[in-house]
Amino acid sequence: MTNVSLAQSYLIKAQKRLKILPVLLDEVAYSDVVREAQEIVELALKGMLRQVGIEPPKWHDVGPMLREYHDRFPEQVAAHIERLADISRWLRKD
């Protein structure tokens, strides 16, 4: 599997998991909503890294890698890397 197809796979998984969140909310399973949302963001960010040819780390917070390789992203994405990295760090501190 290529990095691009792996990246697409990560992003498809993230999109599918997004559909679970309303069900968990309806069930008042708030801790599950938070955990699932964290995993969705992690999948999406790791998919972004793969898309630009970077093997994502095995740990959860990929913010430092987003910053390190920000120049590999298209300009429209690179403009938001700091915010995405901050979100990644914030989700992992809780």
Counted domains in the chain: 1
| Cβ burial 55-87 (10 Å sphere, 16+ → b, else e) | ebeeebbbbebbeebbeebeeeeeeebeebbeb
pLDDT digit string (tens) for 15-59?
A: 999 999 999 999 999 999 999 999 999 999 999 999 999 988 788
The HSE-up count of residue 57 (CA atoms within 13 Å, CB side) is: 9
Q: 44 with 60: CB under 8 angstroms?
A: no
pLDDT digit string (tens) for 52-93?
A: 999 887 888 899 999 999 999 999 999 999 999 999 988 877
Q: What pLDDT was estimated at residue 6?
A: 85
Q: What pLDDT was estimated at residue 92?
A: 77
Residue 94 scores a pLDDT above 70: no
Q: What pLDDT was estimated at residue 93?
A: 73
For 45, the enclosing helix (H) or strand (E) is helix 30-51
Q: What pLDDT was estimated at residue 60?
A: 84
- Whole-model pTM: value is 0.85
Q: What pLDDT was estimated at residue 7?
A: 86
Residue 8 lies in domain: 3-93
Q: 42 with 84: CB under 8 angstroms?
A: no
d(CA 17, CA 32): 12
